[in-house]
Structures are given as structure tokens and as C-alpha cells.
Structure 1
Amino acid sequence: MGSAGLARLHGLFATYKPPGLKWKHLRDTVEMQLLKGLNAGKPPAPEQRVCFLLGPMEGSEGKELTLTATSVPTLTNHPLVCGPEFTSLKVGVGHRLDTRASGVLVLGVGHGCRLLTDMYNAHLTKDYTVLGLLGKATDDFCEDGQLVEKTTYDHVTREKLDRILAVIQGSHQKALVMYSNLDLKTQEAYEMAVRGLIRPTNKSPMLITSIRCRHFAPPEFLLEVQCMHETQKQLRRLVHEIGLELKTTAVCSQVRRTRDGFFMLDDALLRTQWDLHSIQDAIQAAAPRVAAELEKSLRPVLG
């Protein structure tokens, strides 16, 4: 079970990180569950060796002793003697989520850790839903932070919010073109833009490729953000800045990642599925898509 099970573990899979859980604790929990599953298989039958045992000779009434050849098991490789076969496993984490955030968190096992580097170099976009709350400001832009200011928000309308979001998206799209070092007058750049493959050539500030309001019911509003090179703190600051543009204040009450590159919410394993067989199945199911998407995404960058 051990070696055969390990061979099916090389690759990428997605988990769902609940809010309040540190990404490192999630990684350690997954590693522990995988090791538990790999070591849970029935050990192979021990090898036999010939041993000469001293015993009474037949018919000698116990007075004379003789050596008798006997087959006995060799216990040098038994788990109770040498310990479990697997004691550590290489498990890597992709684009991280901070403790407050939730959503899709991609992990790599074994050779899959190299694919995490490819995902990083491909500068793939990620989707978030961000819940904002109008009317107050805190020191860390979070709803449960230390209150700094309270304001009114009766003048805020959906139309005003949509206009501000359109301006934000436009400015970030210009920045994306600048960091991509592409001449948009060329046919190649036009084709990449149509296919949505314009990417920055190197690390850049947070770039928003799309932002829209999905729900508006003051004081709450829900944003859908597609971006790259972001941190969750920057997304919370974005809510704060939107509040200022609306001539009020706003805090962020929830950040949830719904897509990381080519991994969606439907691909993410819940806590009850962090076991060997579920992870093996997830890695095998995602492998063809991972290879195809990475090739498509990395080809323009490498070119």
C-alpha cells in the first residue's frame, strides 16, 4: 500500500480553508492524514529464516539434546521494530490565505511542488468574493478591528458604487498592459488580449482584471474581484478606499477565494475529505487539466 499509494500522490489538488484556520495548520493536518493513510496498510508477510533450536532428542527421555532446523520469521523490518515506513512527506502550499480569509487553497505533494512554482510563474488570476460594510472604519480594515470612525451612508447608491468600480477596473487594466511589456499594436498582443492571456512579465503590485458588485443592500455590499499578485489585506484595504471614494467609510467583513488559477470551489476538498484516498483521487482527476492549463498559460510567458 505504501509505495503504490505514494506513486499516486505526486501532483496538485485544492482544499477549502475555513476562516480562522492558519494555512500552515491546514498543511500540517493534510500531511499527517496522508502519512496516516500510507502507513495504515497491512505490512507484508515477514521473510523466513532457518534457525537451529536446541531441544530433547526423540526417545531419549529428555536426557540427550539435539539441534533441530526450524523456519522462523525475520522481524527486523517489522513496523513495531523499525517504526512506520513513512515519517515525512513533501507538501507545498500555493497562493496562501491569511487566517481570516477562506476559500480555495492549492497544495502540491511530492513532484507536484514543482508545479506550484509553474503556477506562480504563470501569473494566473484568482477570483474572490469580498463582503463590505458601509458606515464605519477600523484600524485594520476588518469589521472586528478597533473602531476608528463611524459615518452615515444614506447618500450611497448602486450607481455611484458601479461608477467607482468601473474607474478602478480601468486604471488597473492600464497598469496590467504596462507591466506586461507588450505593444498592443501588434497582432500577437491583440490575440493574447482576446484569449485573456496578457500577464505581467515579473512580480507587480496587485492588479485587478475585473471587479463588479454582485449584491447591494446597504450597509452591506458584495464585490466579485478577479485579480493577481494580491494579498487579502490589500483586498480589505480596497474596500476601505471604495468607502472613501463614496464619501463615507467601509470595512471588510469577509474575504473568500472562489478560484485559484484552474482550481474552482467545486474542486476544493472539505475538511472531512482530507484523507489519503480522497486526495489521491483529486490529484489524478486534476492532473490532465493541470498539465494542459499550465502549458497554455506558460507558453506566452516563455515565448
Structure 2
Amino acid sequence: MDPNTGMLIIDKPQGITSHGVVSRVRKWFGTRKVGHAGTLDPMATGVLVLGLGRGTKLLTYLVGAHKTYTATIRLGSSTPTDDADSAPDAFAAPAALAALTAERIGAGAAELTGDIEQVPSEVSAIKVDGRRSYARVRAGEDVELRARPVTVSAFDVHAVRPGEEHWDVDVEVTCSSGTYIRALARDLGRALDVHGHLTALRRTRVGAFGLADAIALPEDPATASAPELLPLAAVAARVLPVAALTPNEATALMQGKFVDLPEAPPAPGGRWAGIADGELIAILERRGGRYKSATGIAIPGPGAR
């Protein structure tokens, strides 16, 4: 197997884009085939899941995973980007700030929990008529994004630090893919009539992978030894139910054939990790009671089509 095939969990440092992390990892491992499962803003730190080589095929099954973040929300002002990457441009009235309480903040967070409709931040990568929203905003255009359904499973307030000009609120959020924590900060501030923006953000978990799985990104990949990658079979087994394959079944799947797998466990998502002899062969789906490769991972042998 290609030594540059596998998964890598990076603890992204502040001040670098997710694309910048990919670029650095390409140099680190000497390969072009690197992708990531879910962008982090330059201001944010934490878990960034990357696939290398054939591992990029597995990213599709990680992008939609629920994510957990710790964050600090500043109540009392808002910014054009809804975070600390731009200067505050609107401020709370002193009376409104004086009326804040920890109980009101907690109630406001509770109102933003569950299945909600969220308008993403205008300075985001969402495309509007073929162009990124942030590019339109920076060009001086007015952008109006539509609300999208997202799920905020938890929006827990851990600490509240009152001040004369602002209140800082430490929170932990678990949410569906596509949720903007910046937008939660903005919307909490609006609901409390004091404005709000994000001053710190750290992603602590992507699906089955947390900070304990993450490694640091070297400043200079040319001088750092590349670590061992996580094997695809091990990663897939943490994400999907495993269908154990015999060598003959593995060969048949790699040749595009259907197989019978009576011992396959239940799969609520309709996908299985097909593994034979410790190698991830394919992501499987069921069709008409039989199983077929939905995404081939292993390299097909002779006779494949």
C-alpha cells in the first residue's frame, strides 16, 4: 500500500487557513493528494481531519459528522465578520448591557438549541450566484444569505465574566455540520439586544475524533519527520459498522460484483466499512438484499472492471 495513504488528525494552530494546513501537510509527506473534512476559520484552532492518498475517499463519510467546539462570545459589540478578525462596528446601549444577567444569557442560549433556522455569517465561503459570499462582501456588495436548517445539540454556558463595556461568555457547542458558531454568537447578542461576536473558537471533536487523537502541525515541514498515518481500516471502524469480508468477497467487491453478507451488523446510515485482513476494501451499500461497493478504497486486482 502507498505509505502516504491514511488519515491524519491535526490540532490546527491559530492564524492559518485550513487550505494552508493542507499545503503544509503536502510538503510534510511529499504528496499532492491531501484533503480535509470541514474548514476551520484562521482564527479557530483544534481538530482538523485530513485524508492522504486514498484516504481522501473516506473524507466524504466524515464531513457530515457532528462537531463540538469551545468558544468565547463577547456580548456588548458586533463586528462585520461576527468574530475578532474585524474591529467592532456596533455597540450595546449602556442600559441594555446593564440589564444583562447570567440567567438571561443561559435562556438565550437555550433558545438557540435544537433544530433551528440559521442565517450564515455574510463573510463565509457560501456561494451566491457562483461567487463566495466573503468575496462579494469585500467587494462592497450587499449580500443576503438564506436561513438554513441546522441542529445545535448542546449550547452550554460554562462561565460568564461581566464587565463595564462587555461581558465575555465561555460556551461549549455540539452541532451539525454547516453550523456557524460565529452566527450563534451574533444571534445570541441580537436576542439579548446587546450585539455579540466570537473572540475565541476551538474545535474539540469531529465525530469520533477528538483532541486526544490530534498532533501538532510543524512550522517547517521540511525539517520535521512525518508521523505514521492512521490506517484507513481503523478510521473507518470508528465511523461505520464493520462488515468482515473473506478474501473472495473482497476480490468480488473490487471487481464491481455484488456479494451476500448475512453476518453484516445493522447500519442506521446504510453504509458499512468492508474490511478484509485489516485492510479497508470499500465502503459498502445494500441493494436488493445484497452488498456492493459504494466507494472503492483498495486497488482492484486483475479482472476488475
TM-score > 0.5, shorter chain as reference = yes
Query: Aligned residues: percent identity?
Result: 27
For 2:238 and 2:204, locate their aligned partners in 1 and report how far apart those are by CA, in whole Å.
21
For 1:171 and 1:95, locate their aligned partners in 2 and report how far apart those are by CA, in whole Å.
21
Secondary structure class of the residue paired with 1:100 = coil
**Match 1:162 to one of 81, 101, 106:** 106
What's the counterpart of residue 240 of structure 2? 294
| 2:16 is the counterpart of 1:18 | no
Give me the TM-score of the superposition, normalised by structure 1.
0.62
Task: Give the ranges of 4+ consecutive aligned residues of structure 1 lying more than 3 Å apart after TM superposition.
Answer: 6-9, 170-173, 272-277
Q: CA deviation at 1:95?
A: 0.9
Alignment of 1:1-303 (within 5 A): 7-35=2-30, 88-120=31-63, 123-151=64-92, 152=94, 153-172=97-116, 205-218=149-162, 219-230=167-178, 234-272=180-218, 275-278=224-227, 280=228, 282-284=229-231, 287-295=233-241, 299-302=267-270
Q: Structure 1 30/221 Cα, relative in aligned 2: closer, same or farther at 3 Å?
A: same
RMSD over aligned Cα, in angstroms? 2.6
Q: CA deviation at 1:171?
A: 4.4
- Please tell me the residue identity of whatever aligns with 1:141: D
- Please tell me the residue identity of whatever aligns with 1:167: E
* Greater strand content: 2
Secondary structure class of the residue paired with 1:20 = coil
For 1:119 and 1:144, locate their aligned partners in 2 and report how far apart those are by CA, in whole Å.
28
For 2:87 and 2:226, locate their aligned partners in 1 and report how far apart those are by CA, in whole Å.
44
Give the greater-gyration-radius structure (CA).
1
- Please tell me the residue identity of whatever aligns with 1:147: P
Unaligned 5+ segments in structure 2 are 118-147, 243-264, 272-305
Contact 2:115-2:151 at 8 Å conserved across structures: no
Q: CA deviation at 1:268?
A: 1.1
> How many residues are aligned here?
209
Contact 1:172-1:209 at 8 Å conserved across structures: no
For 2:226 and 2:19, locate their aligned partners in 1 and report how far apart those are by CA, in whole Å.
22
Unaligned 5+ segments in structure 1 are 1-5, 36-87, 174-203
For 2:159 and 2:13, locate their aligned partners in 1 and report how far apart those are by CA, in whole Å.
22
Secondary structure class of the residue paired with 1:240 = helix
For 1:236 and 1:243, locate their aligned partners in 2 and report how far apart those are by CA, in whole Å.
11
Q: Structure 1 246/114 Cα, relative in aligned 2: closer, same or farther at 3 Å?
A: same
Secondary structure class of the residue paired with 1:7 = coil
Higher RCO by CA contacts (8 Å cutoff, separation 6 or greater): 1
For 1:149 and 1:164, locate their aligned partners in 2 and report how far apart those are by CA, in whole Å.
20
Q: CA deviation at 1:289?
A: 4.7
For 1:107 and 1:214, locate their aligned partners in 2 and report how far apart those are by CA, in whole Å.
30
For 1:298 and 1:131, locate their aligned partners in 2 and report how far apart those are by CA, in whole Å.
40
For 2:151 and 2:85, locate their aligned partners in 1 and report how far apart those are by CA, in whole Å.
27
Q: Structure 1 246/298 Cα, relative in aligned 2: closer, same or farther at 3 Å?
A: farther
Q: Structure 1 98/24 Cα, relative in aligned 2: closer, same or farther at 3 Å?
A: same
Q: CA deviation at 1:116?
A: 0.5
Relative to structure 2, which stretch is displaced further, 290-299 or 244-253? 290-299
Q: CA deviation at 1:28?
A: 1.3
Give me the TM-score of the superposition, normalised by structure 2.
0.62
Q: Structure 1 171/7 Cα, relative in aligned 2: closer, same or farther at 3 Å?
A: closer
